[in-house]
Amino acid sequence: MTKEEWYEQLFDRLEHSKFRSGFHLKKKDIDYINEKGLDTIREHARDFIAKREAPAVIPNDGKQTPMRGHPVFIAQHATATCCRECIRKWHKMRPGRELSPVQQEYLVDVIMTWIQKEMEAYKNVHKK
């Protein structure tokens, strides 16, 4: 299966999840992303994944990702990259072992793909 095929299946499943499909970026999130730039947002995502998801043992697993406060947090809930249990269920990565750099970069890429889709959708809805 190619990356494109996997992403197509993953995002289709996420869109059909009542919980996951309920997350969307708001104007303030879009403004923040535009102010900081996508490269900076990607760095934030890398940092959040490395610190909050990558360790083998996470004492507060399931509660480490806030539901608001940063566009990446919203994206993590929308893409099931918010805790190790969701990562296991949706992305097939076993908990209890540290995530490799390749796994971490994959999760960041999923987050950024969702953010870019949201930005495009927002732009299409708010055309002048």
Q: Residue 118: which residues within 8 A CB-CB, separation 6 or more? A: 24, 25, 30, 75
Give the C-alpha separation, 83 to 87, whole Å.
Answer: 6
Q: What is the pTM of this model?
A: 0.93
Per this entry, what is the length of the chain? 128
Across the 128 residues of the chain, what is the mean pLDDT of every consecutive 10-residue run? 92 96 95 97 98 92 89 98 95 94 98 97 78
Give the C-alpha separation, 56 to 24, whole Å.
Answer: 29
Name the residue range of residue 47's domain.
Answer: 3-125
Q: For residue 71, what pLDDT is reported?
A: 97
Give the C-alpha separation, 93 to 99, whole Å.
Answer: 8
Q: For residue 128, what pLDDT is reported?
A: 55
Token output for 69: 């406060």
Residue 98's identity, in one-letter code, is E
| Total domains in the fold of the chain | 1
Give the C-alpha separation, 14 to 90, whole Å.
Answer: 9
